[in-house]
Every structure is written in C-alpha cells, then in structure tokens.
Chain A
Amino acid sequence: MELLIIPLVFALIACFLPKQSLKYVSIAGAVTSLVVALVHTLAYCGSSHYVSIFDPNHVTTFGLTFKMGYDGMSLFMVILTNTIIPLIVLSNFKSEIASNKKFVSMLFLMQFALIGVFTSMDGMMFYIFWEITLIPVFLIALWFGAEERKKILTKFFIYTFVGSLAMLLSLIALKSTASSFSHADLVAVQLTSQTAFWIMGGFFLAFAIKTPIFPFHTWQPDTYTVSPMVGTMLLSALMLKMALYGMVRWMIPLAPEAMESMVPIVVILSLIGIVYTAILAIKQADIKRIFAFASISHVGLIAAGIMVFTKDSVSASFLQMFNHSLVAVGLFLCAGILEQRLKTRNLYELGGIAKLAPKFGFWFAVIGFASVSVPFSSGFIGEFLLLKELYQYEWIIGVLAGTTLVFGAVYTLRAYQLSMFGAPKHESFIDLTWNEWIVFFVIGMLVLAIGLFPQVIFDFVGPSIDKLMESVELSKNIVE
C-alpha cells in the first residue's frame, strides 16, 4: 500500500510547500518511493507468488473488488516507474519547472496513477488508474509545452480517450458475464472466438493508440515535439509501458481465445510500424522527432514480441521495456539539453558540440550506442531475443524486423554525427551540470549492468510469465 500512498502524499504536500524547498522535496519523494520499491523487491525476489497489497475482500454491487497486488511482472514495472521518476526529477533539477508546485504535484500524481495501473488486479481499477494517468501528462504538456501545443494536445487527448472508451466497451462486455471485475473472474470468462476477437480488439485499440502502433501513431511525434522535456520523458519512458504491460496482463489473458486471429494482425501492424517509422526517422531534421519516430520503431518490436507470446519473447519484452525507458530518458535529455542551451532542435543548425562539451559528447554517444543495441548494452540481449522469436514465428517477419537494427544505427549515428561533429556552429556550450551527469551516469551503469547480467531480470519476471502462459494455455484448451 505504501507504494501508492507515498506518491499521493507527496503530490498533496507539494501544493503547500514554499517554492525554494520544492525541488529537494521532490527528489526526496522520488528516492523514498524507489527505496520502498527496492525493499519490496528484496522481500519478493525469486518467488512467483502473488502478493496482495490491498484487498478489502468485498465485492461491491458495482462489481468492483479493489484488489491491488503484484507478482513478478507488476513489481518489475513498479521498479521501472520508481527508477525513472527520480531520473526525471534529477534531469530537470536546475530548470525552472522543478520549483513549480503544479509540476511537482502532477509528477507525483502521475507516479501514483502509474503504480496503480501496474498493481491493479481489478479491471475497473485498472481502467480508472489508466485514465487518471492521462490528466497529469496532459496538464504538464499544456502548462509547460511549446507555443503551438493546443491543437496537438487536443488530438492526443482525443486519440487516447477514444482508445480508452474501446477498452471500456470490452470491460463492459466481459463484465456482463463475469461476477466481478477481479482479474481472476475476468480471466475465467469463457468466450467464443468471435466475441473474444472483438473484446481483444477493444483492448488492442486502447493499447495500440497509447503505445503507439502503426496506424494509430499519428498523434505521437507532434505530441512528443511540443511537450516539455519532462512530458516527453513521461510519455515515452512510462506511459507507453502501461500499454505494453496492459497487453501482457489484461489483453492476452482476458481473451486468449482470439489469439489465433489477432496475432498475425498485430504482428504485421507492428512490423509495418517498425520499418516505416525507422525510415521516417532517417529523414527528420528535428532531433526530438528522430527520437520520437525511433521510439515507435523500438516499441513496435516489443509489441510484436509480446504478441508472439512465447516465454522468451515475453521475457525479452520486459527486458526491452526497461532498456527502452532508460534510453528514452537519456535521449530526450540529450535533446532537451541541446534545445535548452541552443534554443534549436534543428540538426542542420547544430555541429561540433563534442569539441565544446566533451562530457556531453561522451554520454550522448553512450546513450546512442545503447539505443542501437551494441553488444554489452542491455538492448543487445533484448532485441536479439525478440528478433529470434519473431524469426521462429515466421522467418520473413524476423528478417524484415531485423532491418530496424540497421536503420536504428543510421538515424542515431546521423543525429549524433550532425550535432556533435564537424565545425562548431556555436561559440560556447555549457557542459553537463552535475545533475545531468548523474542521470547519464546512472543510465549508463544500468544499461551496462543489464547488458552483462540480463539473467537477473529473466529470473525475476520468469516465474510469473510461466504462470501466465500456463493460464492462457489452459483457457485456450478449454475452448478447443
């Protein structure tokens, strides 16, 4: 329970604190949640059982059970959230918004809602938390975003809201036969493969818009571009992970009967997204847009991996989620640093920065390498496992998806080369401040550590994934 209460308390007290103390309080809050999450992890490590954190043991007339709890997968996502939030706080530490109470309180509200999403074991609670996350991100982008944001944010909000309505429809449909909204009861519902198809379709629409998967991605590059750096980080590092987690936890177990018909659709859409957005990323001049398209491309691979649904592919997806979050924070921090110091994101106006700011140049390169999955970085293991599983699913898909590695190298290196090398186009460039350096250092260390010891993560989420696969197999067999 304390996992949820701490962010909520900090969100509330942030409203009443004086300006000067805000940033210290926010870092304290973020670190406290991280420590609490780690304590939970140490207690949990290695087991596969379900740990309940809140269960009033009461079904309301409405069907709500308020069940909250975690298994390996949920806890993994909680750790991910609580690791990323301190990094986000730190990377904004010196900017103005760090001492803005609206920002701090919204950030903690976001953390609260995210942990709620990851620990809900009740369909309606999941939906409620899922919707709550939209508000802080929207408000942060609206308050602190770029000039032309209004229209774009409206588009973003409508897109995601409509997706959520589709999910609501699926939940209503499931609930019409289930006795309550608890995860177990919803899983127990028997569906014909046709209704299962529509129910999974509803969930998929919600998750595909949030992820985003091609052709539902059109809101994403614009929204990433107009959001402030922190908004982009929240969107890419945390919010889209909700959708991927939702696929594993809710979409597939709730309507496994539709896997047969749904998997090819999702895998092919993801594949189109992977290749198409990678090619788009190569041609962009705006550095933030490059990373935005890159994000769609990387996440498409994870989504395809989840849908293939073998043990290796799901484990690799979790690994890749962690990796993508770290890299996204790093890359958008790089873009944010460039934008904040030079007031431009256009690659053709940048150049030679590595000479002016060697520390920045070095860490940008590290993050860039992590993003293109060089060996010994965490991305290497994840992407190769995912590609292997896709190859085994259908060799041509694996081969085509593999091009993402090549394209990834092209756009990342192009962005790096144009901005960092060549003749300096600016007179001076302030090198990394201490807080930015810490963020890069932590990301770099984590990427390296996971790259060297990926087994830690596989062991952590593995038992829970085994359980999940068993239950899905079981309900598939009943239908047959």
Chain B
Amino acid sequence: MEALIIIFITGLISMFIAMTKKPFLVLITAMIGLLTAISSLVYQVNFPYEWLNYDGLKFDVFSNMYGIVALVFGLLIILVGYETFKKEPEHTGEYISLLLFSLCGVLCMLAFTDLFMFFLGLEILSIPIYVMAGSRKKDLKSSEASMKYFFTGAFATGILLFGIAWLYGAVGTFKIDEIAAAIQNPTTHSSLLYVGVMLILASFLFKVGAAPFHFWSPDVYGGSPNIVTAFMAAVVKLAAFGAFLKLFTVAFGGIHDFWAPALVILAILTMFVGNLSAIRQTKFKRLIAYSSITHVGYALMTIISSNMNNAFNLWTYLLAYGFSIIALIVVSKIVDDEDDELASYKGFARKNPFAGFVLILALLSLAGVPPLAGFFGKYLVFSSAFADYPWLVIIALVNSGIAIYYYLRMISSSMSKDDNEELEAYKINPVYTVVLAICALGILAGGVVAML
C-alpha cells in the first residue's frame, strides 16, 4: 500500500518539478520515489503489514513479489527513456509521470481483492500507455499504434466490464474470495457464470496478446516509441499475467474444467501463430512482438495447470523474459534505425562487443539455453504443466525448437562481418551501459537464483 502511495505522490511531484525545465531533476525524483517504493516492497515481502487498511487492495507475498519486479522494470525503462526525454525537455515531466501513474495501475492490478479495484487498476495502467504510444505526434506509425492500441484496448475493457456484469449476475459479489466460495456451490453454475467467465477470459487474452486476439501487438510494438514497447512487453504483460493468474486460479479455480480446455487450445494456437509469423519478419520490433506472442503461449501454461508453485513459476518466467526484452529494446535504441530493419543489426556485436554480448545473452535466454534465466523459467513452466498436460508440453517444446531458428539467425547476423564494410564502433551512453549490465546480471543471476 505504501509503495502505491509513494509512486503516486512521486508522479505528482515529478509533474510539478518538470515546470523547472530541468529533466535531470525529474529523473532524480522519479528514481528516489521508485527506489523507496521498491525497498518498502522488499522490506515487507514476507511480512506485509497493514497500517493502511483498505478492503479492495491486499498486498500479500504474491503481489509484493510481482510488484518488485514490475517496479524494477519500470525503473530501468525510465532510465533508458531518459535519453529520449532529454531531447524534448518540455515533455520530460509528462513522460515520467505517465510511466509512474501507469505503475500505480500495475500495483492495483496485482493487489486487487475485488473486481472493481481490478478494473480501476487496468484502466489506470492502460490510459497513460494510450497517450505514450502516440507521443511521437508527427510520426504516422506512432499515431497508428496509439489508435490501434486504444481501440482494441477499449474494446477489451468493454468486454471485461460486460463479463463482470454477467458474473455479478451469477454470484452476486465483486470480491474474489466470495466469488471463489460461491463457485464451490454448484447452484451458481448457470450460463450467466459461464458466459461471464468466457468474456473475462477473452478480455485477458486481449491484454496479454494471445491468439486470436493478438493482431494489435505487432503494429503497436512496432510503431510505439521504444520505451513504450519495452513497457508494454515487460511490465504490462507482467501485471496482466499476475491478475490473470490470481483471478483464474483463486476466483475461478472451482470451474477449472470449464475454462481450461479453451485455454489449452488457445495456448497452442498462440505459440504457433507467434512462432510461424516471427520466422518471416524483417523488422526487429515486429520480430520481438511475434516472439513475445509465443512467450505468452508458454506463460499461459502456468494458468492452465493446477500446480502449487504456479505463481512462482510464472514470476520466474516473466522476470527472465522482461530482462531480455528490456536488453533488446536498449540494443534497438543503440542501433537507432528509423526503419528498424533487421539488416541494420548485422555485425552489431563486432561494433560494440559489450552490448553485443548482452544482446546475444538476451536472445539465448529467450530461446531457453541453460544456464540462463530464460531456461529455468521455461523449465519451471513446462514441468509444472507436465503432470496434467504432457502433450501440451511436447507442443511447447516443438515450438521452442522452431523459435531457435529466428533467435539464432539474429545471433549469427549480429556477429557476422562484412569485409567491405568498415566497422564504425557504436558509442554508447553510460546510462545504456548500466541498464544493459543490470539486464545481463538479471539474466545470468536469475538462473542461479531460480536453481537454489
């Protein structure tokens, strides 16, 4: 709870500090606020104490763990974005406070105990992103991304509300523990309930970008400014999956047999759609978008399987995934190619060995090569699903095999050399170096931590 308040106040303060037109000051404020919030979450991760009591939000171990990761990712993304912000100092405050407000939404989405708070959190999370996705106003692609994201997002929200209404009709409450209790009673299993759950499921699939609701994600990822892409891929996905897991395992756990088969089929579809489209991509961010659709497919396996450790498995998976995505986005900022062609990454590792090393590390982690964090995330997710759905795991492994193709293509292209082309080394900003180093550390250490 404190973390939420701290971030909200930091967001407000940054807006006012921005009036001084000193971007650096805003950055420092945001950093201090975020670090305070993170330390307060870390401090109470196992012993949440509630001197501020509010029924709608409950910060337990689950939401604290997910919250820490979301805030760390937010911090890294603000650091990365700072270079862009500096170019237009009059807007720095807006960017940073929008990101901070969005993070408030993330915390609401992770800690909700009733559907009302959940809906509010989702909106607080999404609205700043609609704005930021279109923040490069003169860029047609950015405007397109913003429009697409807004329309599909608003549509998904509408479906969600509709679903919540049906659900309310069936169980007569918004509280998730009361819903769970009501669902234990078979008399509530009316078509009202089933339709409601299905509509909520659809809206979640929209938010996480699973097939067949994935069409927005490549365009939005490709068109948005880099940091917004990173934010959507790393943080929004984390929040949406956290809420997804909480809602479906806690509240709808009683009717697992009803929604699980649908989700199984969609997870398989998601994996294949993402992978097979990613193979043909020629643009970097679109490739990331499609590959992240595949990763959504893997992550859905945790929600499907009824395993004790699912929350932790999903957390590990999203942690590894987020660090890799942020590293990839930093690399894409370093390359700084307007058209975002994959070809311009050729020889990247030779031009800047350190950033190239992190790029390769991130790609290998996404591909699931041990001993990187991505492998352990994948292993945990797959092994937890194996008991109930062995063939789903087999399909997921087949997809890992397909995915290695495009990751490997990028790895070898980033290391290849053109003899006739002279190497101009990329000079990278120290901020990027720091962020890349943190990501590399996360990818390497994440594996070790998951092992212990």
A→B interface (CB under 8 Å): 60-62, 64, 127-128, 131-132, 134-135, 139, 142-143, 150, 153-154, 157-158, 161-162, 165-166, 168-169, 172-173, 175-176
Contact = CB atoms under 8 A, between A and B. Distances in A.
B401 A132 contact: no
Interface in B329-378: 364, 367, 369-371, 375-376
Contacts of A158: 401, 404-405, 408
21 contacts: A61-B309, A62-B380, A127-B370, A128-B370, A132-B371, A135-B364, A143-B415, A153-B412, A157-B404, A158-B401, A161-B401, A162-B401, A165-B398, A165-B400, A166-B397, A168-B379, A172-B382, A172-B393, A173-B390, A175-B383, A176-B386
Contacts of B409: 154
B98 to A, nearest CB: 39
Which size bracket describes the interface of B in this complex? 20 to 34
B416 A150 contact: yes
B311 to A, nearest CB: 13
Contacts of A143: 415
Given A154-B408, A173-B386, 14 more contacts: A128-B375, A131-B369, A131-B370, A154-B405, A154-B412, A158-B408, A161-B404, A165-B397, A166-B397, A168-B379, A169-B393, A172-B379, A172-B383, A176-B386
Contacts of B379: 168, 172
A162 B451 CA distance: 23
A305 B12 CA distance: 74
B423 interface: no
Majority SS of interface residues in chain A?
A: helix
A115 to B, nearest CB: 16
B434 interface: no
Contacts, number: 66
Given A132-B371, A169-B394, A62 B412 contact: no
Given A142-B412, A162-B401, A172-B382, A62 B451 contact: yes
B127 interface: no
Contacts of B415: 139, 142-143
A62 B450 contact: yes
B452 interface: yes
Nearest to A143: B415
Contacts of B451: 60, 62, 64
Contacts of A64: 451
Contact of A168 (B387, B397, B452): B397
A165 to B, nearest CB: 5
B408 A157 contact: yes
Nearest to B394: A169
Contacts of B394: 169
A263 to B, nearest CB: 24
Interface in B144-201: none
A132 B364 CA distance: 11
Contacts of B370: 127-128, 131-132
Nearest to A166: B397
B299 to A, nearest CB: 17
Can you list the 8 inter-chain pairs with the closest CB atoms, starting with the nearest?
A128-B370, A162-B401, A165-B397, A172-B383, A131-B370, A161-B404, A128-B371, A172-B386
A187 B379 CA distance: 21
Contacts of A165: 397-398, 400-401
A135 B371 CA distance: 12
Contact of A176 (B367, B387, B404, B412): B387
A362 B293 CA distance: 60
A169 B398 CA distance: 10
Contacts of B401: 158, 161-162, 165
Nearest to B409: A154
Contacts of B376: 62
A260 B386 CA distance: 26
Contacts of B382: 168, 172
Contacts of A169: 393-394, 397
Contacts of A142: 412, 415
A119 B265 CA distance: 41
Nearest to A177: B387
A165 B393 CA distance: 11
B412 A150 contact: yes
Contacts of A127: 370
A180 to B, nearest CB: 13
Between A62, A64, A153, the greatest number of chain B beta carbons within 10 A of the residue's beta carbon is seen for A62
Between A135, A157, A175, the greatest number of chain B beta carbons within 10 A of the residue's beta carbon is seen for A157
B383 A176 contact: yes
Nearest to A153: B412
Nearest to A130: B370
B369 to A, nearest CB: 6
Interface string B418-452: 00000000000000000000000000000000111
A161 B369 CA distance: 9
Nearest to B405: A158
Interface in B285-309: 309
A127 B404 CA distance: 17
Between A60, A128, A135, A158, the greatest number of chain B beta carbons within 10 A of the residue's beta carbon is seen for A128
B277 to A, nearest CB: 18
A96 to B, nearest CB: 16
A157 B393 CA distance: 22
A246 to B, nearest CB: 16
Contacts of B408: 154, 157-158
A161 B412 CA distance: 15
Contacts of B390: 173
Nearest to B447: A128
B218 to A, nearest CB: 24
Contacts of A60: 451-452
A64 B397 CA distance: 21
A384 to B, nearest CB: 40
Contacts of A161: 367, 369, 401, 404
A449 B390 CA distance: 51
Interface in B78-113: none
A60 to B, nearest CB: 6
A176 B380 CA distance: 12
A64 to B, nearest CB: 6
A311 to B, nearest CB: 34
B151 to A, nearest CB: 39
A270 to B, nearest CB: 24
Contacts of A62: 376, 380, 450-452
A331 B74 CA distance: 56
